[in-house]
Amino acid sequence: EAPKPSNFLRAIIERDLAAGTYAQRHWAGSPGDAAHQGSGALDPARIRTRFPPEPNGYLHVGHAKSICLNFGLARDYGGVCHMRFDDTNPEKEEQEYVDSILDAVQWLGFGWEANGTSHLYYASNYFDFMYRAAEALIEAGHAYVDEQTPEEMRANRGDFGTPGTDSPYRNRSVEENLRRFREMRDGQHADGAMVLRARIDMASPNINLRDPAIYRIKHATHHNTGDRWCIYPMYTYAHPIEDALENITHSLCTLEFEDQRPFYDWVLERLADLGLLARPLPKQYEFGRLNLTYVITSKRKLKALVDEQVVNGWDDPRMPTIVGLRRRGYTPESLQLFAERIGVAKDYSWIDYATLEQSLRDDLDPKAPRGLAVLDPLKLVLENWDEALGAGHIEPCSAPVHPSQPERGRREFALAREAWIEREDFAIDPPKGYHRLYPPKADAAGGRVRLKYGYVIECTGYEQDAEGRVTQVRARLLPDTKSGTPGADSVKVKGVIGWVGAQPVEQGGGVAAEVRLYDRLFTEAQPDAGGRDFKASLNPDSLRVVQAMVEPSLATAAPDQRFQFERHGYFVTDRVDHAAGRPVFNRITGLKDSRGR
């Protein structure tokens, strides 16, 4: 028995596949070619989706949801997903964005032409078809050139509950409309002088059907078509045509476009009636866009953060862009897992940022090699080292690369008379229940802990500088307590702490590393909700850089390698700044959701 579809889009697709809705789809040539539609071989029943970004910025985590959804559905149902640039607006689009978008989609694990049927398309390659279709609409009486000023058009559109008023140009002849439209195309009019409008219904309760504009004049150079055109189609007219030319079956978009669906269908039905598009036609379905707490996903606002240097570029590890998430250390698998977990629904809910972090942990926990790192190093001196083990003795230690996968081998490092421990693992006046290091009192011994993978030690004292800052902790080791030896359990301790040897790396000691501790960029859960000024809630502590000591196995890591630092969380060697001899790690996320969010 087939499992129940896990969301409403899957239910729709399974219904359509069962009914054979798209079994008759024809396919030949390239989209927009005269020979393309309504000819060619019969294609098997297949769903076709598309991911259609506008190349006007870098992709963000919301786009990742859309990418995983569109490519994922095609993959799961033996269909096709096209990568398409919705590049119909010349002014904001750039090649830099085209390149970064292609890179992001591939990095996420998806591609085109993988099976010979999925393609990389540009909507701007259909400008000829879109223009011909517009002339056909004019000839059929479905479109007219309006010369009202933008202000007049806005005023005459009416309002919610108030019908609009017909334009005085609404009933001009086909010949007059064609002549004007061609003048627009030929550059004889200034931007904004006139527009081509669909002729639908100025009294429609859906304001989007009150004769929406379908072509406007824009004397602007396009990144793909150069100066060939000075009129450009509106998104709402272009999008359904793009979908139909690519034989998209399920056109998935975010909920804001729900009110546009009647116009989407209007364009397709008219052009199919005119023989310009073949049936069955694509259908639009809406899902809720991703809203993630503590994150903004508006390209415009993200650009402001970059332009005003609040962050260090689009790939700053605090940015929710795909390049930012990647540099932060997120894996493609963790983002796919996240997309799967949040699913799709028809609502405007917010997803907790913790869901994204948990997806990363669940992906990395079985994969990431472990390592010891001391993020806030304090010197530990083992006073009885020489008597207990011999002067200058170096004690080899080891730990599993992964605790539940012994086949991955062991990491080697060593302990000597001096080591680095976390500053927070020592307290002069220990709070109640503190099971780490503290100095002895008149009537009580000092705190005892196990140095993980090493010996049990007992604190004997400490040193401070003139400001009272602790500069060194002294302790003695308890002989015969080394982890993994028969005597290891002879002394019971409640605390186990991490450490890194202070001797040179050639003797198994640690290596200095820059560690960038990232936190969320905003202190408000919904930084830009309800028109709020998102810059007012920037987190001043979103980046803290510390000088850490890391175990030797971490020092040789290549860039973009992920680790779990024991007790601290998941870290990645920075793709840009990490180099042999100058290790730089980014914190991806902690081991658990410490805020209890």
Give me the sign of the Cα torsion angle 580, 585, 588, 593.
Answer: positive
Q: Residue 122 CB, nearest distance to Mg ion (Å)? A: 15
Does the footprint of Mg ion cover residue 54 (CB under 5 A)? yes
Residue 245 binding partner per list ligand ATP, Mg ion, none, with a CB distance cut-off of 5 to 8 Å that depends on partner kind: none
In the chain, the amino acid numbered 70 is N
Which of 135, 392, 79 lies closest to 250 in space, CA to CA?
79
Q: Residues 481 to 520: which contact ligand ATP by CB under 6 A?
A: none
Q: Residue 166 CB, nearest distance to Mg ion (Å)? A: 30
In the chain, the amino acid numbered 572 is V
Choices 52-60, 329-337, 468-476, 490-498 (CB under 5 A): range interacting with Mg ion = 52-60
Residue 594 burial by CB count (10 A; 0-12/13-18/19+): exposed, middle or buried?
A: exposed
Residue 53 binding partner per list Mg ion, ligand ATP, none, with a CB distance cut-off of 5 to 8 Å that depends on partner kind: ligand ATP
Does the footprint of ligand ATP cover residue 153 (CB under 6 A)? no
Which of 511, 506, 359, 304 lies closest to 420 in space, CA to CA?
511
Residue 91 burial by CB count (10 A; 0-12/13-18/19+): exposed, middle or buried?
A: exposed
Q: Residue 84 CB, nearest distance to ligand ATP (Å)? A: 10
Q: Which of 14, 33, 43, 54 binds ligand ATP (CB under 6 A)?
A: 54
Q: Which of 25, 36, 46, 65 binds ligand ATP (CB under 6 A)?
A: 65
Does the footprint of ligand ATP cover residue 321 (CB under 6 A)? no
Q: Which residues 6+ apart lie within 8 Å of 16 measured at CB? A: 22, 47, 249, 250
Contact 373, 551 (CB under 8 A): yes
Cis status, amide bond into 44, omega within 30 of 0 = no
Contact 121, 84 (CB under 8 A): yes
Active site residues per annotation: 54, 289, 299
Consecutive H or E run containing 74 = helix 61-76
Choices 63-71, 113-121, 164-172, 563-571 (CB under 6 A): range interacting with ligand ATP = 63-71
Binding mask 297-316 toward ligand ATP (x if CB under 6 A, else -) reads: xxx-----------------
Q: Residue 45 CB, nearest distance to ligand ATP (Å)? A: 24
Q: Which of 204, 254, 472, 539 binds ligand ATP (CB under 6 A)?
A: 254
Residue 287 burial by CB count (10 A; 0-12/13-18/19+): exposed, middle or buried?
A: buried
Give 102 or 427: the residue with its C-beta nearer to Mg ion. 102
Q: How far apart are CA 246 and CA 81, in angstroms?
A: 10
Binding mask 178-197 toward ligand ATP (x if CB under 6 A, else -) reads: --------------------
Does the footprint of ligand ATP cover residue 336 (CB under 6 A)? no
Contact 505, 495 (CB under 8 A): no
Does the footprint of ligand ATP cover residue 92 (CB under 6 A)? no
Does the footprint of ligand ATP cover residue 289 (CB under 6 A)? yes
State the residue for tokens 């012994």: 406
Q: How far apart are CA 67 and CA 53, in angstroms?
A: 10
Choices 160-168, 295-303, 402-410, 418-426 (CB under 6 A): range interacting with ligand ATP = 295-303
Q: How far apart are CA 64 and CA 336, in angstroms?
A: 8
Residue 355 binding partner per list ligand ATP, Mg ion, none, with a CB distance cut-off of 5 to 8 Å that depends on partner kind: none
Does the footprint of Mg ion cover residue 92 (CB under 5 A)? no
Q: Which of 53, 79, 454, 509 binds ligand ATP (CB under 6 A)?
A: 53
- What is the gyration radius of the CA atoms in the chain, in angstroms? 32
Q: Which of 22, 25, 45, 62 binds ligand ATP (CB under 6 A)?
A: 62
Q: How far apart are CA 293 and CA 300, in angstroms?
A: 18
> Which residues would be at the binding site for ligand ATP (CB under 6 A)?
52-54, 62-63, 65-66, 253-254, 289-290, 297-299
Q: What residues line the site for Mg ion (CB under 5 A)?
A: 54
